[in-house]
Homo-oligomer: A and B are copies of this chain.
Amino acid sequence: MRLPDWLAHRAATAGERLAIIAGDVRWTFQELDRRAASLARRMVGLGVRPGDRVALLLPNGPEFVELAHGVGRAGGILVPLNTRLAPPELAWQLGHAAPRAFVYAPQTEPAARAALARWAQEGQTGGEAASSEVAVLSTEELASAPEAADASLRPFVELEAVHSILYTSGTTGRPKGALLTYGNYWWSAVGSALNLGLCAGDRWLANLPLFHVGGLSILVRGVIYGMTAVVHPRFDPQAANRAIDEEGVTLLSVVATTLARMLDARGERPYPPSLRAVLVGGGPVPVALLERAARLGMPVVQTYGLTEAASQVTTLPPGQALRKLGSAGRPLLPTEVRIERDGRPAGPGEVGEILVRGPTVSPGYFREAPVAAAGRDGAGQDAASLSARRDGGWLRTGDLGYLDEEGYLYVVDRRDDLIVSGGENVYPAEVEAALLAHPAIQEAGVVGIPHPEWGQVPVAAVRLRAGWGLTAEELLAHCAGRLARYKVPKEVRIVQAPLPRNAAGKLLRSRLREQWLEAGAGGGGRGQEVSPGEP
């Protein structure tokens, strides 16, 4: 099924309305449409053809926004890379995505260069070898690239087509590229509007990273709704509060840690009634924090979302926020949620794995199809073949929760091994793999422990090979070259005893976490070396 291009439609129906506010930049829908079309013609000039991937390594800002819309207009698939990643991580994702073009900004140029060098050096990494066919250019170079005069841009959006590939940390230690279609975003936007409403003058603050689904989906909703997106370069609690007071922001998305920082910066001043809803996602939220927000008149609604479901899966209906405090709400209208425990449906109140089905659910991960046709049509092929791999259309999230008698979801815990740190997902397996790359390390176990500011932080217990010596500092330096900073363990303990494992040799991370917490904080914080004999 196809729809008229969303942005072009809004340029025609609300051309004078502001599409983007980003610092001093103010673009109407007409202006954004013109810029997206121009960028799309440049993309075509660079050799981007329908189905080609275009990778971005850009901070939040207007350049990201116009590219996010321009890539699709040229028929390309957007691959926004996480600017916090270390060069080896970026190199792997570039190799896996095999983009036709790669765009960086002045701020990200060093990381981009280092990643490209690493990709070239490693050759075939996750996917394809570094190739001279990749157009690598800065946003400035892109701005002066010639437009392809004969470019025929797509006037329609095909709901089945892949819009973007978003890499998420993988449970197996390697990232996975979640394919999100135009339809996934469309249904997510429709479901969200039917829950939160859609008012003239709505402005959604995008101060989470635009390379994550939480930020990117605001840009897409903006053009579907004809709504202004207010883009901040990064999360800043004062700026967020000011945007609500002075920039007319009516909606925003936060995680528990950023919500707490906004309230800390706020003091006792109530929020204005123009603030319609504040979505809090990214894992369980302390009820005390929700109550604190409510006292300042902030209309908080908790939400449960996933990259693989184009953001919101369940969200509290605004009118139910206080009655159902602590719940992540009901499934948005197009989506179904069920809880499964030991392979059978769980009853009301019974905790089990959260399963999700519906039109917002990704068709699969890029290159995970058994045999995907190589080359330009790869993305589409993968999408089709992967959709059959899910369980009757149900996506197994691995997260734990329950539904109450009225069908409201309560998220009890993200999947056992997932660490959510300041809104970023950290998979222990990935950090363990980086640790095990050091020749001195025989065993490594990574778990999340509570942290007052970031919710959770990763910590590591490692056992050395006989005859090797290594300080925790050396180990952290080893990690820093391989992992994004938020993934680097905030504390490392070197242990003598083997790590707890089950009979099959599987690491028992919950047991490891218990041991860690029982032993108590080591005192020295980051990089502390624990004396032999401790857990």
**Interface residues in chain A, defined as those with a beta carbon under 8 Å from any beta carbon in chain B:** 1, 3-4, 6, 9, 12-14, 16-17, 190, 193-195, 197-200, 224-226, 317-320, 330-331, 333-334, 336, 359, 406-407
Contact = CB atoms under 8 A, between A and B. Distances in A.
Given A12-B406, A317-B13, A198 B198 contact: yes
Contacts of A317: 13-14
20 contacts: A3-B333, A3-B334, A4-B331, A9-B333, A12-B330, A12-B406, A13-B317, A13-B320, A13-B330, A14-B317, A14-B319, A193-B194, A194-B224, A194-B225, A197-B198, A197-B200, A198-B199, A199-B199, A200-B318, A224-B333
For this chain, the copies found in one complex come to: 2
A225 B197 CA distance: 8
Contacts of A193: 193-194, 198
Nearest to A227: B197
A195 B329 CA distance: 27
Q: Which of A319, A331, A359 has the most CB of B within 10 A?
A: A319
Contact of A197 (B199, B359, B406): B199
Given A318-B200, A359-B1, A195 B330 contact: no
A16 B331 CA distance: 19
Contacts of A200: 197, 318
A31 B17 CA distance: 40
Contacts of A12: 330, 406-407
Nearest to A11: B406
A360 to B, nearest CB: 12
A405 to B, nearest CB: 10
A202 to B, nearest CB: 8
Nearest to A225: B194
A315 to B, nearest CB: 10
A331 B8 CA distance: 13
A335 to B, nearest CB: 9
A224 B331 CA distance: 14
Contacts of A9: 330, 333
Contacts of A17: 319
Nearest to A330: B13
Given A4-B333, A14-B319, 20 more contacts: A3-B333, A3-B334, A4-B336, A9-B330, A9-B333, A12-B406, A12-B407, A13-B320, A13-B330, A17-B319, A193-B194, A194-B198, A194-B224, A194-B226, A197-B197, A197-B200, A198-B198, A198-B199, A199-B199, A200-B318
Contacts of A16: 319
A195 B333 contact: no
Contacts of A194: 193, 198, 224-226
A464 to B, nearest CB: 55
A333 B13 CA distance: 10
A4 B16 CA distance: 37
Contacts of A3: 333-334
A353 to B, nearest CB: 20
A318 B334 CA distance: 27
A318 B3 CA distance: 21
Contacts of A407: 12
A406 B15 CA distance: 11
A373 B225 CA distance: 43
A313 to B, nearest CB: 14
A333 B5 CA distance: 9
A225 B406 CA distance: 19
Contacts of A198: 193-194, 197-199
Which 6 A/B pairs are nearest by Cβ-Cβ distance?
A13-B317, A198-B198, A197-B198, A199-B199, A13-B330, A197-B200
Contacts of A334: 3
Nearest to A319: B14
Nearest to A202: B197
Most buried by B among A13, A16, A195, A330: A13
A1 to B, nearest CB: 7
A195 B195 CA distance: 16
A171 to B, nearest CB: 30
A297 to B, nearest CB: 16
Contacts of A199: 197-199
Contacts of A406: 12
Nearest to A317: B13
